[in-house]
Amino acid sequence: MPIDRGGRLTYLTAMAILDIITLPDPRLKLVSEPVERVDDAVRKILDDMLETMYDAPGIGLAAIQVGIPKRIVTIDLSREGEPKAPMFLVDPKVVWTSEETNTYQEGCLSVPEHYDDVERPARCRVEYLDRDGKAQVVEADGLLATCLQHEIDHLNGVVFIDHLSRLKRERVTKKFSKQAKLRVRSTGWRPSMG
C-alpha cells in the first residue's frame, strides 16, 4: 500500500489497538508536550488512538492515556447505529469557557468502571489543529463541551477524579492502588515507567 502523505487514505492503512494506562500509573499526571507539526507519524497516532477508543469503547481519548505524552486527542460522540463522526485535535487549548456550568456523570478509560458527577463550564471554545495541520476552532456545549474539557485536562496531567472532593478522590486512588498491588503479587506485572 502506498504511503499517503496527505492523510486522505488513512482509514485504508493498518491501525493498531494500543494499551490504555490506568490509575495509579504516574504517567497520567504528566503534562503532555506540544506537537511540532502534523505529519504522517502524528496521523498514525491519531488513527491508532481512534481505533483504541472505539475498541474500549469510549467517546474520547488523550494520547497520554496510551502512554504518548503529546497534546493529541480523539473524540467521537456518535451513538450506536449512527455514522461515525470522529474529531481529531492536535495541540487543543480551551480559549474561553462560560460562567454557566453543567454537571455530567463522567467516566474515564483510565479509571475503569468508576463514574461520578463533575461540574464544568457548560460551554467552551477550543482552538486546535486538525489531522491536516490546519487551524480550527470549535464552539461547544453540552456533552461535547464536557468531553473536550475532560480530554484536554488529561493533556495537563489532570484526571476527572481530581475534580472530586478529597475524600472521594482518595477513595478511588486507594482502590486502584490496591488493585495494582494485587496484580503485582499474583502475576509479577508492574506498571511501566516512561
Distance, in Å, from the CA atom of 119 to the CA atom of 122, rounded to the nearest integer, reads 9
Distance, in Å, from the CA atom of 10 to the CA atom of 43, rounded to the nearest integer, reads 8
3-class DSSP state of 47:
helix
Considering 51, 100, 113, 151, which one is annotated as catalytic? Answer: 151
Distance, in Å, from the CA atom of 53 to the CA atom of 56, rounded to the nearest integer, reads 5
Main-chain phi, psi angles of 178, to 5 degrees: -65, -45
Contact at 8 Å (CB) between 138 and 49?
no
Distance, in Å, from the CA atom of 122 to the CA atom of 67, rounded to the nearest integer, reads 29
Whether 99 sits among the annotated catalytic residues: the reply is: no
Residues in the chain: 194
Distance, in Å, from the CA atom of 74 to the CA atom of 72, rounded to the nearest integer, reads 7
Could you tell me which of 121, 106, 30 has the C-alpha nearest to residue 68? Answer: 30
Distance, in Å, from the CA atom of 163 to the CA atom of 119, rounded to the nearest integer, reads 8
Contact at 8 Å (CB) between 122 and 144?
no
Q: Which residues are catalytic?
A: 151
